[in-house]
Amino acid sequence: MRATKQKQVAIYLAAIVTVVLMGFPLYGVVLTSLQPESVIRSPELSLIPTTLDFSHYASLFSDGHPVPLVSAIGNSVVVAMFSAFLGVALAVPASYALYRTSAPGRRLMMGALAAIYVFPTLLFIIPLYIMWVNLGVFDTRTGLIIPYTAFVLPVMIFILGTFVRSVPMEVEEAARIDGATTRMILTRIYLPLMKPGIFAVLILGFILSWVEFTTPLLFTSQLDIMTVSLALFRSSFDIQIGQLAAAAVVTAIPVVVVTVVFQRRIVGVLTGADR
Amino acid sequence: MAPALLLVGGVYLYPIAATLVYSVATIDIGTYTIESFVGLDNFTRVISSSAFIPTLLRTLYFGLLVVLITLVPAMFIALLLNEQFRGRTFVRLVVLLPWAVPPVVGGVLWGQMFQSEFGFINRILGELGLPDDTIWLADPALALHSLAIAEAWRWIPFATLFLLAGLQTIPTNTYEAAQVDGAHARQRLWHITIPQLMPTIIPVIIFVFVWAMKTFDIIFVLTRGGPGGSTTTMNYWVYEQGFETFQFGTAAAIAWLLTLVTILVIGILVLINRLIFANKEVR
């Protein structure tokens, strides 16, 4: 009994250390965003707030703020949604073709898709930058959606591929004997069975597009096309620590909320338990 | 399938080929077209420059550092989450959250943590009676290590989830047998858990190492490669050459050198992995 008691104490100590070390940076930024600038800059350390001050958020969203955060959020929502849906629309047939057919060069394609994540991102960005300038899509939403979609596509294909493989081959064969076409098999058999996977990769695509920083940094220069992560970076030139913290919280909130709500599903899909 | 191929081809294959061409050329900045072909000049200039070896070693050191600062806590947290206890879901959520934090938010957040005057780290050190005036991000010896902490914080969730999935595949009767034989918790960790987990640990090391070598966002937001170039990794060097001085040819050459280094690192890690498994079979 003593041993298990000791073990219990050790577990809870470890849990507290883990929560403090991993969670503190997030707590710190939320706390900073809710404190008056005078408290943030005072020499006293106060980890438990005595007053909450929402003025940083208010001034962030006020008209005429130097960094147009509201329009940046709008841009990010549009670009991230487009990229996620476009990515899924392309990844569903691609994952079927790569994981279920005997298309030539299948293994090579899969290897190439995985290798993409080995190359440094800037290796792709340099020629795309030059191409975008020449094609006139620099500083447009299209110029962001195309690389975003391509960046999320391989991981979408891999995740959906595991769902494709979980569909029994006999089901497809039976349908073929009954005269079903490939399109029918894809929409009537695979699509319904892939639903949890499609849902997961939609969320993943949205998150990955929302957080993308390098692409908008290098592919946009105008304020009105700015995405939310870029807006946050631009506001870091501001001297107001509290406002910067508030902008960081606003940028992180959508993805954090999605992660909290879909925690189980994301963990399940990533670790392969959800099939 | 065809549209996906077209997109992947356009956004990946074309740039890979184009960067290779740029690496042996100079680019005219006015028209964004190839000016002339210069053979291997870009490569020889990069390799013979005094910055090359330090930057290469810095990149490898940073990768190793991030792997260590990611893997050790992740192992500890995975072992913790493998136990049944109340509040486990909450702990898992807190551990998962940094993964959902956009890298640029991570940059801003750690910038405020490391800030020398008002930052939480120095404040807390001060409360504990320790020196509270360390300039984390502006000290050439400390900046890279501070960045590694910020970067590792983002990778711990991923590493933990994979190690946890690996832990759950170890049959519990292995532990029970060891317990009967009187093995201590630490012995069980070193002689059962870690060897059994190797097939999971090695891929995690590969992933984190590769991603750490490609780090851009955190460096850009926190130190911009400074102070005095002490946080300029090869990837950041590509950015500087490409988008600060607009030497696209040089940037392309460095990007390809980084790719070669990355492939070499993966090769070595895979080889280590093979050796470990070959040993196991002999035993």
Judge whether residue B1 has pLDDT over 70: no
- Residue A51 phi/psi, 5-degree rounding, is -130, 155
- Residue B149 phi/psi, 5-degree rounding, is -65, -50
- Residue in A121, A93, A97 with CA at minimum distance from that of residue A109: A97
pLDDT of residue B282: 47
Domain A69-271, classified CATH 1.10.620.20, yes or no: no
CATH 1.10.3720.10 in chain A is located at 69-271
Contact in structure between B103 and A211 (CB atoms under 8 Å): yes
A:94-133 residues touching chain B, CB 8 A cutoff: 94, 96-97, 103, 109, 112-113, 116-131, 133
Within 8 A by CB and 6+ apart from A163, the residues are A95, A193, A194, A196, A197, A275
ipTM score assigned to the predicted complex: 0.85
Within 8 A by CB and 6+ apart from B195, the residues are B280
pLDDT of residue B283: 44
By mean pLDDT, which of B39-43, B154-158, B234-238 is the weakest?
B39-43
pLDDT of residue B156: 95
Domains and their CATH numbers in chain B: 1-39 (no CATH), 51-282 (1.10.3720.10)
- Per CB-CB distance under 8 Å, the chain A contacts of B126 are 45
The whole-number average pLDDT for the span B141-147 is 93
**Alpha helices in A167-239, H assignment, sequence order:** 169-177, 182-184, 191-193, 195-211, 214-219, 228-235
- Taking the C-alpha atoms of residue B37 and residue B19, their distance in angstroms, rounded to an integer, is 13
- B108/A232 Cβ within 8 A: yes
Contact in structure between B147 and B223 (CB atoms under 8 Å): yes
- Taking the C-alpha atoms of residue A263 and residue A265, their distance in angstroms, rounded to an integer, is 6
Q: Report the amino acid identity of residue A132.
A: W
* Token pair recorded at residue B278: 């070959």
B261 by Cβ neighbours in 10 Å (0-12 / 13-18 / 19+) ranks as: middle
- Residue in A250, A260, A255 with CA at minimum distance from that of residue A33: A250
Contact in structure between A49 and A31 (CB atoms under 8 Å): yes
Which pLDDT band holds residue B2 (cuts at 50, 70, 90)? low
What are the tens digits of pLDDT across the range A121-137? 888 888 888 888 888 88
Nearest by CB: A229 against B93, B96, B104: B104
Q: Report the amino acid identity of residue A190.
A: Y
pLDDT of residue B145: 94
- A272/B165 Cβ within 8 A: yes
- Those residues of chain A that have pLDDT short of 50 are 1, 274-275
% of chain B at pLDDT higher than 70: 98
* Token pair recorded at residue B250: 């040089």
Nearest by CB: A128 against B15, B92, B120: B15
What are the tens digits of pLDDT across the range B14-66? 888 888 888 888 888 777 778 778 888 888 888 888 889 999 999 999 999 99
Q: What is the mean pLDDT of chain B?
A: 86
pLDDT of residue A274: 44
